[in-house]
Amino acid sequence: MAAEPNSASSIPASTWSDRFEEGLNPAIERFNASIGFDIALLQQDIDGSVAHARMLGSCGVISEQEASQLIGGLETVRSEAAAGQFNPGLEAEDVHFAVEHRLIELLGPLGKKLHTGRSRNDQVGTDVRLWLRGQIDAIDAALIRYERALLSQAETHRSTLIPGYTHLQRAQPVCLAHHLLAYIEMAERDRCRLADVRGRVNICPLGAAALAGTPVPIDRRQTASELGFAEIYANSLDAVSDRDFAVEFMAAASLVLVHLSRLSEEVILWASEEFGFIGLTDRCATGSSLMPQKKNPDVPELVRGKSGRVFGHLVGLLTMIKGLPLAYNKDFQEDKEALFDGVRTCLDCLEAMAILFEEGLEFRPQRLEAAVAADFSNATDVADYLVAKGVPFREAYQLVGGLVKSSLAEGLLLKDLRLDRWKELHPSFEADIYAAIAPRQVVAARRSEGGTGFEQVDQQLQRMRSRLAC
């Protein structure tokens, strides 16, 4: 246990059996190695190896004392890594060999017993699942923070109106809180999808060995239980070759980025002079190197752009596995960089969007109120007014369509028409038409469950407040 800290030069020139007489071509060695990125799995690799060593001791494959020594050696490697003293080089090839070589340095021949009853194939599958399980939990926490940021804005603007659009054309006014709650609903679906994916990530392949299991009398369920897995793979071939969970995760992450990108596009539009619905604070915006008046929406633009990275990783993973025969293939090495970058991008974008809504933008209620009062988005409510008077909807629809046409030609809004003009259109109109088409009443009237009416929005806010415990 008194060995010197690990260095690249201490790793043997060949990690393979005596079947091989020559070392790899240096270029192929670089091409083949994954230590440059899979070192990120170091803690998971040590966790898996500790559980494996303890199981070997419990099953009598090695003595309890040997198991204890192996675990002690692994914890030494963990401590060295924490102190910045574990720095394997290219010769290690991957994190699994790097840990094993260091263990042999520390314990001598005993270190060579750790790999009994397992292969790198089931080992790497276990490490990746342990890592991704934790990252899914981190993304869920990031989604909650993002939802709470939206919810806080929604609470503040529960009575603020905003134009509602279809085809990016003014349609009907809605409550701003209702608009923001739509994105919270999307995020809640993201959380459900990720939780579902986590269930399939949380299945343990350890003990499947290279592809066919092992004659060593191991207890797969003991290691799975110690590592917090809910179940073990029932088929050893499937255990080492399954990367469905990686694809499923990237698909779920892609939808997270789709939703962030959609909201980003709206923020970018809202921040423009043409819309002017929000102002950007100095905390989340930059200027132009040439034009001093500019304040650019960098955060939503970057999120919108970064979404393509995650989509690309999804396509890359699908392409990587689509033609692979059973069981393990070196192609699977390509899953890690995609997963690492996909997770990092997802977390970064969620954090950035949460900060944007926490402190990076300010809605402009007066500008929003003016916007909903200056269009024909209350035309449907004129038709609904006539329907309430017994006029068939299609007839009312045609009458109002003609009225909008003539009003546009005259440069008038519906609220500006005299009562006699309304009565010329249909005798059912009375003075209460003005109250019925006022924007706030138009919104309040949408009382159907899930609608934008203020009472419905209050119920939606309460439901989300309870769900997010805030």
* Annotation says 261 is catalytic: no
Lowest mean pLDDT among 16-30, 44-58, 110-124, 138-152: 16-30
pLDDT of 3: 45
- Other Cβ atoms less than 10 A from the Cβ of 151: the count is 21
Out of 24-33, 36-45, 57-66, 270-279, pick the least confident: 24-33
Percent of residues, the chain, with pLDDT higher than 90: 90
d(CA 261, CA 248): 20
Active site residue 63: no
CATH 3.20.10.10 fits 121-370, yes or no: no
Residue type, 285: A
Indicate the domain borders of the chain.
Answer: 8-14+23-116, 121-370, 373-467
Fold of 8-14+23-116: Fumarase C; Chain B, domain 1 (1.10.275)
pTM for this entry: 0.93
Nearest to 94, CA basis, from 53, 128, 129: 128
Give the C-alpha distances (Å, rounded to integers) separating 270 from 17, 84, 179, 259, 377: 64, 47, 13, 17, 18
**Residues 4-33: what's their mean pLDDT?**
66
Could you tell me which residues come within 8 angstroms of residue 395 by beta carbon, excluding any fewer than 6 positions away? 386
Q: 14, 63, 272, 288: which is the annotated catalytic residue? A: 288
Q: pLDDT tens, 111-152?
A: 999 999 999 999 999 999 999 999 999 999 999 999 999 999
Intra-chain end-to-end CA distance of the chain, in Å: 51
CA-based angle 18:22:28, to the nearest 5? 120
Q: State the Cα–Cα distance between residues 276 and 149, nearest whole angstrom.
A: 21
pLDDT of amino acid 6: 46
Of the chain, the percentage scoring pLDDT greater than 70 comes to: 95
Contact 280, 211 (CB under 8 A): no
Contact between 146 and 354 (Cβ < 8 Å): yes
Distance CA 424, CA 437 (A): 18
235 touches 78 (CB < 8 A): no
Query: What amino acid occupies position 325?
Result: P
* Residue found under tokens 């993201």: 190
pLDDT at 239 over 70: yes
Looking at per-residue confidence, does 230 or 9 come out higher?
A: 230
Burial degree of 24 (CB within 10 A; 0-12, 13-18, 19+): middle
Mean pLDDT rounded to a whole number for the chain:
94
Annotate 356-415 with DSSP letters as a single string: IIIIIEEE-HHHHHHHHTSSSTTHHHHHHHHHHTT--HHHHHHHHHHHHHHHHHHT--GG
Please identify which of the residues 9, 17, 167, 466 carries the catalytic annotation: 167
CA distances from 228 to 45, 46, 122, 269 (A): 14, 15, 16, 46
**pLDDT value at 186 more than 90:** yes
CATH of span 373-467: 1.10.40.30
